Amino acid sequence: MIKAVLFDLGNTLVYSNLEDAYQRILAEQGFTKPLREVRNALIKGNREFDIDRHEGLSANEFYTQWNLVQLKHLGLEGSEARKLAESINTQWWKFAQFHVYPRVKDTLQRLKRTGLKLGLVTGGFEEDIEMILPSTGLDEFFDVKVGVNTTGKRKPHPTAFRYALRQLGAKPHEAIFVGDDFEADYLGAQKVGMVPVLIKRRSSGIQRLYTDSCKLPHKIRTIEKLNEIFDILNQINP
């Protein structure tokens, strides 16, 4: 019997145009770059950035280090790049706009009405959650919100999932996890013993890295729209 449904955040419930925000921030700082050049730099930088090596950093320093890798692929390095990387952090929430995918709010409302507990486990930081959820109108839905710095561990590490389950009072087999990243979300939840579901969002540009990063096995639970989660619930909870 399923008692809880947990979700990833970015590219699962909400999305943003990362390259557009990056280009606008750079222009604000006096660095005019074509959007295609920014997109290619972000794709290269994202592939190069070693997340595990930067585990344990504060949100500000983590994103500064992430920015430095992206800026290197735009031809910016040294002390000038460090200053710009920190400025990007400062201005990020001024330019980044997050949008809720269709059917997300209706689905979350319906899940809550059935009495299910809802949780959020993201690869972002608590600071990101605190900015994104209120601005998108999703803050009211979740009984637990887990960022990287909540537990000090990032998905697919089991600590993040297990912490959320304890807070919800649910055992792994009593919970579904929905996310767009096969390794971090699907395999991570599966290894803990949760019911994993992969949502295959249509993506473009930099966001395609997260959804098309690996070849998927045939026999996995997938949905394309969030409200399809009710089909899975009906199969498990007849």
Burial degree of 131 (CB within 10 A; 0-12, 13-18, 19+): middle
* For the chain, domain boundaries: 4-15+98-236, 18-95
Q: In this structure, what token pair is assigned to residue 200?
A: 């295959």
Share of the chain above pLDDT 70, in %: 93
How would you label 13-36 residue by residue, b for 16+ Cβ within 10 Å and e otherwise? bbbbbbbbbbbbbbeeeebebeee
Q: Are 22 and 46 in contact (CB under 8 A)?
A: no
Topology adopted by domain 18-95? DNA polymerase; domain 1 (1.10.150)
Helix (DSSP H) and strand (DSSP E) numbers for the chain = 11, 8
CATH architecture for segment(s) 4-15+98-236: 3-Layer(aba) Sandwich (3.40)
Give the angle subtended at the CA of 145 by the CAs of 139 and 150, to the nearest 5°.
140
pLDDT in tens, the chain (238 residues): 999 999 999 999 999 999 999 999 999 999 999 999 999 999 999 889 998 889 889 999 999 999 999 999 999 988 889 999 999 999 999 999 999 999 999 999 999 999 999 999 999 999 999 999 999 999 999 999 999 999 999 999 999 999 999 999 999 999 999 999 999 999 999 999 999 999 988 754 444 444 444 566 668 999 999 999 999 999 887 6
